[in-house]
Structure 1
Amino acid sequence: MVPVASIVGMTLTLLICLLLPLGGLVWIVTKRRGGVRVYPQAGRAFAAGMLTFVASQVLTRIPLMAWLSGQSAPWAQWLLSGPAASFTAGLFEETGRLLVMLWLLRRFHRWIDGVSFGLGHGGIEAVLLVGLTQLSNLTLAFLINSGQTAALDQLPAATRDMVLNALTGTPSLDFYLAGVERIAAIGLHVGLSVLILWGIVAGRRALAWVVAVLIHGVCNLAAVLLVTSGIPGANVIAEVVLLALVIAFWAVFVLRSRPRFPSEIQPAAR
């Protein structure tokens, strides 16, 4: 049997993956002041953020990492290591973030456009990497708990046992931590999107790009090192540290940067 606590954790994490980015977008595009929408066309930035993740990860980095996993050369194994992979994720995503903003957001340089962009980027990542997994986990958990395991019985014995052990043997806390990790990850993507857009607005694109790659890589690496450290409660510590880093980033830069952005959509170039 899959513990009820685990099922609740899967459900909460799935809701976070879906409702946090979509709820944020709905709030942004429907916010009104004096009967007029405050942030018109913010959905454009949201869609651009989704495109960035798909282009920089799904279509490029993930296939590249899959190819590297089949290589035995030392350089390939180094690129797959935790430290290198932590920073290549930042390299690909922040480069994609900058290019897509320059391409699709030429007139959309408001602070809220950076926020919307990050919600789209972090939202599609959450759905593809975590949300779909949790949906599958929930489906299998309900089948197992109701005794309807015919579909699992069709799998090879080793695979069937692995699935059953993963769902019934994984500590319930881990399913909740996945939700906390997604909150931190989406918050990080929003913050990095604001940073890159600030670089475009301030004419300091290279500086913003370098800082964004470093922040992205450091956050990834901190989580990887803590999770693999073997210390008691490493998973919990990793998520707490990641969340703390994101909160600090927001407090130091993201919130304070808002006055540096234009308040309106810029006029089209003639």
Structure 2
Amino acid sequence: MDLLSITHFLNGFLMIALPILLGIYLTNKFRMGWKLWLIGGATFILSQVGHLPFNSYLLTPLLESFQRTIPGPPGILVIAISAGLSAGIFEECARYGMFRWWLKDARTWRSSVLAGAGHGGIEAILLGGLVMWGYISMMAYRDADMSSLNLTSQNLAILKQQLLAYWSMPWYTTLLGAVERIFTIPFHVMASVLVLQVFTRRPGHQQLGWLGLAILFHTIMDASAVFLSTQLSVYLVEAVLGGMALVEVIIIFVLHQPEPLPPELSPILPVDIPPVFTPTQVEETTENLDQTRYQ
């Protein structure tokens, strides 16, 4: 097996394994179960139930017509902002719903961190699964007899180009998918911490400005990735995402709020031990028997 076969496989494997390892670390460190992590992951999946159809049937056709009207970088920038805003609204509103209705009692910094790790973790795992499926397909087609495939000449030419690009890229480029997930998961943790502030800054009064801030951050991150990918090399784009990840980690810890300590157990009062009754040995005599005869 050559180096590219190993690194392509490693890319998909890390995208799946790293979120799970992070979940193991956080659940052990916080001494919490996997419930919050799984609920965070389920929240991401539920957000896509509305997000993907909205993009496919409404947003994408509109943006395609818009791009024909305004080509070049200005059009790309509008498309990037629109796509980022779409993702931000659906995912952050789903996160808001998670804390309002699903995790009503989860109001600690630790719970938001764990739920955010699950949200970003499930996204990484699903994308890693797609990467692994693509890897298996490319391995199968790599040594296949192309003439035996029931493809038109045009589709066959496209497949050959894809195979050539897949198996000729530098080995370090194949790992960028895993690197991007490492830079993206901190955002989801930060976003969960931000949305939690809606409910904890003034108990009993929701501060929806924090939800708007989470949507804004989501829009900026996604729009930056989309727009810069058309203007800069892929390595510079990942460097920008890495810088944003560092800022996100700082925000996570800046918003760390002291958590209530568990109630102290009341001291156990000593229990008085009742005296042990020890019968007195009475000597049996004729006189003693006469005294107790009528008692």
- TM-score when scaled to structure 2? 0.73
Q: Please tell me whether the aligned partners of residues 186 and 248 of structure 2 are also in contact (alpha carbons under 8 angstroms).
A: no
Aligned equivalent of 1:67: 57
Q: Match of 2:222?
A: 220
1:181 aligns with 2:180: yes
> Which of 31, 34, 42 is the matching residue for 1:39?
31
Q: Is 2:146 the counterpart of 1:172? A: no
C-alpha separation in 1, matches of 2:189 and 2:128: 18
Q: Structure 1, unaligned stretches of length 5 or more?
A: 32-37, 266-270
Work out the CA distance in 2 between the residues paired with 1:89 and 1:262: 34
Change (3 A) 1:261 1:10: farther
Q: Partner residue of 2:277?
A: none
- Cα 1:199–1:260 change in 2 (3 A) is farther
* Change in 2 beyond 3 A, CA 1:40/1:140: same
The yes-or-no answer on 1:237 pairing with 2:228 is no
2:40 alignment partner, one of 49, 52, 64 = 49
Change (3 A) 1:149 1:208: farther
The structure carrying a bigger helix percent of its residues is 1
Is 2:155 the partner of 1:161? no
- Equivalent residues of 2:10, 2:175 under 8 A apart: yes
Q: Distance in 2 between matches of 1:166 and 1:83?
A: 29
Contact 2:112 2:189 in 1 (8 A): yes
Matched residues in 2 for 1:264 and 1:98: separation?
Answer: 27
* 8 A Cα contact 2:16 2:129, kept in partner: no
Q: Secondary structure at the match of 1:81?
A: helix
Task: Quote the offset at 1:97 in angstroms.
Answer: 0.5
- Partner of residue 91, structure 1: 89
CA distance in 2 between partners of 1:162 and 1:222 (Å): 28
Match of 2:113, SS?
helix
Letter in 2 for 1:95: C
- Tell me the secondary structure at the aligned position of residue 95 of structure 1: helix
Could you list the per-position Cα deviations for residues 121-178 of structure 1 after superposition, in whole angstroms to 9, with x for gaps in the alignment? 11111122x2123212321343345x34579834442453244234224443432111
User: Is this contact kept in 2: 1:110–1:264, CA < 8 A?
Assistant: no
User: Would you say 1:210 and 2:208 are equivalent positions?
Assistant: no
8 Å contact from structure 1 (residues 223, 242) kept in 2: yes
8 A Cα contact 2:39 2:115, kept in partner: yes
Question: In 2, are the aligned partners of 1:114 and 1:193 still within 8 Å (CA)?
Answer: yes
Name the residue aligned to 2:105.
107
Alpha-carbon distance in 1 for matches of 2:147, 2:108: 50
Give the conservation status (yes or no) of the 8 Å contact 2:114–2:189: yes
- Could you say which residue in structure 2 is the equivalent of 1:35? none
Q: 2:118 is matched by which residue type in structure 1?
A: G
User: Unpaired segments of 5 or more residues in structure 2?
Assistant: 70-74, 264-295
Matched, 1:134 2:159: no
The 10-residue stretch of structure 1 (171-180 or 207-216) with the greater mean CA deviation from structure 2: 171-180
Larger Rg: 2
TM (norm. structure 1) is: 0.80
Return the offset for 1:12. Answer: 2.8
In structure 2, C-alpha distance between the alignment counterparts of 1:152 and 1:170, rounded to whole Å: 26
Match of 2:11 in 1: 13
**1:213-263, CA deviations, whole angstroms, 9 ceiling, x for partnerless residues?**
11111111222221111x4xx211111111111211211x21132234446
* Contact in 1 for aligned 2:44/2:91 (Cα 8 Å): yes
In the alignment, the residues of structure 2 paired with residue 49 and residue 151 of structure 1 have an alpha-carbon distance, to the nearest angstrom, of: 47
SS of 1:118's partner is: helix
8 Å CA contact 2:199–2:207 kept in 1: the answer is yes
Give 1:7 shift: 2.8
Cα root mean square deviation, aligned: 3.0
Measured in 1, the distance between the counterparts of 2:89 and 2:212 equals: 9
Identity fraction in percent: 25
